[in-house]
């Protein structure tokens, strides 16, 4: 049996790589499905976004069963079979010819994605990581998901664009990426844990209400990202490459910055950088250099602001609540991206405003909410926990 003495042990590395491929598989479907639904089901952009957004809320359907699943069945098997089913569903998207069936497939696939996130990020990662390294494990696992997300968006926009590959080919590529994740998770070695006989339905490994206020504030970050996904599309994928470059700039300095800089300043700096990126993109005559600068600022701001929110979501949980707190973070992240994407499509369809301005206003509101209330709430909750 493999030993898990340090953070970057064999099992954790396999899970990190599996998370990258899983997020690539899922997020490349956003632009691919949006275009395919418009063409195959004869929907406009707004209705296609509405149908696609079903995926974002589907993990809440499987959430109440999370704790029961990983208690009743082997945790690794729950993860492997949920990703495998997600992959199979992707292959059959091309054969769907009815809106109702499309919604049903999206609900099922989204539910499987939720189970996979829970079993991998909130269960297996904790199982294979020593307790003193679990904060770092949650952070590294999250960063891996963000890298996979950005790579998936690029693949989906370019691969699903005209004259590149067919929609069926894009669906097959997404399914293959998920299968790579299956292979990697299958190679993980996990110790046996005796079942606890938990109830069929519970909030355990689903939602932690203690972290919901911080999570709702955190949602402003993925909402802004959803607006970018809805506006910066085919022909502009280099923006996401610049964004990835900005995020990779954050990674090597993150440990030093987060140790030396307080949470309020960290969040403020990250949100201001993302707002600066939106401000640049809001001008229709920006040049190539300004476009690249906006991408780098967005990636750097994403890392800085999200780190503080993630830290709150894994420190606020009490004993044995870490997995539930982290899954709450992942659920609200997905809802935020979906909500931003849907709101952006609605604005574009109704011609009621500038998406960049709306995203900017949402970002400002999130920044003020954190600085004026959420940070003090977070500190007070930590102090109360220490007293207890």
57-109 pLDDT, tens digit per residue, is 999 999 999 999 999 999 999 999 999 999 999 999 989 989 999 999 999 99
State how far Cα 382 lies from the chain centre. Answer: 26
What residues have CB less than 8 Å from 3, skipping those under 6 apart? 9
Q: Is residue 362 part of a domain?
A: yes
The residue ranking higher by pLDDT, 193 or 105, is: 105
* pTM summary value: 0.94
Q: Is residue 196 part of a domain?
A: no
The verdict on 288 and 167 lying in the same domain is no
Q: How far apart are CA 196 and CA 72, in angstroms?
A: 9
**Which residue matches tokens 């707002």?**
275
Identify the pLDDT of residue 387: 41
63, burial (CB in 10 Å: exposed 0-12, middle 13-18, buried 19+):
buried
The verdict on 215 and 167 lying in the same domain is no
Q: Is residue 173 part of a domain?
A: yes
The verdict on 110 and 43 lying in the same domain is yes
The verdict on 1 and 91 lying in the same domain is yes
Q: Is residue 200 part of a domain?
A: no
The verdict on 217 and 150 lying in the same domain is no
Q: Is 272:367 a contact under the CB 8 Å cutoff? A: yes
The verdict on 54 and 4 lying in the same domain is yes
The verdict on 151 and 235 lying in the same domain is no
Q: Which helix (DSSP H) or strand (DSSP E) does residue 34 occupy? A: helix 29-40
CA angle 134, 138, 142 (to 5 degrees): 165
The verdict on 19 and 157 lying in the same domain is yes
The verdict on 180 and 266 lying in the same domain is no
Q: How far apart are CA 108 and CA 90, in angstroms?
A: 11
Mean pLDDT of the residues in the chain = 91
Q: Is residue 301 part of a domain?
A: yes
The verdict on 182 and 231 lying in the same domain is no
Q: How confident is the model at residue 194 (pLDDT cuts 50, 70, 90)?
A: confident
The verdict on 84 and 222 lying in the same domain is no
Cβ neighbours around 329 below 10 Å, total: 25
| pLDDT tens track for 150-179 | 999 999 988 765 445 788 899 999 999 999
Q: Is residue 198 part of a domain?
A: no
Q: Is residue 199 part of a domain?
A: no
Domain-ending residue, one of 144, 163, 191: 191
The verdict on 137 and 212 lying in the same domain is no
CATH number at residue 80: 1.20.1250.20
Say yes or no to pLDDT of 45 above 90. Answer: no
Domains identified in the chain, total number: 2
State how far Cα 109 lies from the chain centre. Answer: 15
Query: 198-203 long-range CB contacts below 8 Å, 24 or more apart?
Result: 198/67, 198/68, 198/71, 199/67, 199/68, 200/65, 200/68, 201/64, 201/65, 201/68, 202/64, 202/67, 202/68, 203/64, 203/324
Q: Is residue 202 part of a domain?
A: no
Identify the pLDDT of residue 161: 55
Q: How confident is the model at residue 388 (pLDDT cuts 50, 70, 90)?
A: very low
Q: Is 337:225 a contact under the CB 8 Å cutoff? A: yes
The domain of 114 spans 1-191
Reduced DSSP (H G I as helix, E B as strand, rest coil) percent helix, strand, coil of the chain, to 5: 80, 0, 20
What residues have CB less than 8 Å from 341, skipping those under 6 apart? 30, 49, 52, 53, 226, 227, 229, 230
Domain-ending residue, one of 191, 220, 247: 191
């Amino acid at each position: 049996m493999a030993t898990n003495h340090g953070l970057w042990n064999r099992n954790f590395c396999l899970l990190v790589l599996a998370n990258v491929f899983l997020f690539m598989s899922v997020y490349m479907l956003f632009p691919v499905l949006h275009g395919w639904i418009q063409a195959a089901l004869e929907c406009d952009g707004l209705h296609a976004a509405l149908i696609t957004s079903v995926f974002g809320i589907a993990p809440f359907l499987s959430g109440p069963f999370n704790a029961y699943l990983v208690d009743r069945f082997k945790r690794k098997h729950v993860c492997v079979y949920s990703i495998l089913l997600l992959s199979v569903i992707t292959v059959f998207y091309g054969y769907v010819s009815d809106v109702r069936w499309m919604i049903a497939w999206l609900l099922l696939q989204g539910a499987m994605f939720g189970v996979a996130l829970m079993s991998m990020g909130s269960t297996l990662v904790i199982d294979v990581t020593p307790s003193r390294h679990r904060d770092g494990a949650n952070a590294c696992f999250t960063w891996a998901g963000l890298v996979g997300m950005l790579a998936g968006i690029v693949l989906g926009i370019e691969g699903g664009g005209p004259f590149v590959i067919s929609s069926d080919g894009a669906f097959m590529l997404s399914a293959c990426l998920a299968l790579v994740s299956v292979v990697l998770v299958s190679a993980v070695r996990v110790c046996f844990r005796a079942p606890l006989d938990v109830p069929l339905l519970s909030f355990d490994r689903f939602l932690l209400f203690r972290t919901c206020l911080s999570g709702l504030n955190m949602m402003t970050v993925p909402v802004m990202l959803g607006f970018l996904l809805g506006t910066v599309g085919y022909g502009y994928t280099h923006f996401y490459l610049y964004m990835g470059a900005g995020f990779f700039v954050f990674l090597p300095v993150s440990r030093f910055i987060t140790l030396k800089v307080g949470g309020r300043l960290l969040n403020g700096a990250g949100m201001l950088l993302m707002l600066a990126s939106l401000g640049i993109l809001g001008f229709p005559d920006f040049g190539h250099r300004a476009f690249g600068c906006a991408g780098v600022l967005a990636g750097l701001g994403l890392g800085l602001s999200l780190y503080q929110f993630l830290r709150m979501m894994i420190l606020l949980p009490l004993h044995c609540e870490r997995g539930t707190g982290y899954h709450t973070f992942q659920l609200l992240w997905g809802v935020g991206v979906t909500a931003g994407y849907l709101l952006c499509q609605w604005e574009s369809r109704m011609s009621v405003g500038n998406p960049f301005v709306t995203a900017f206003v949402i970002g400002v509101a999130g920044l003020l909410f954190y600085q004026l209330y959420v940070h003090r709430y977070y500190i007070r909750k930590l102090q109360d926990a220490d007293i207890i």
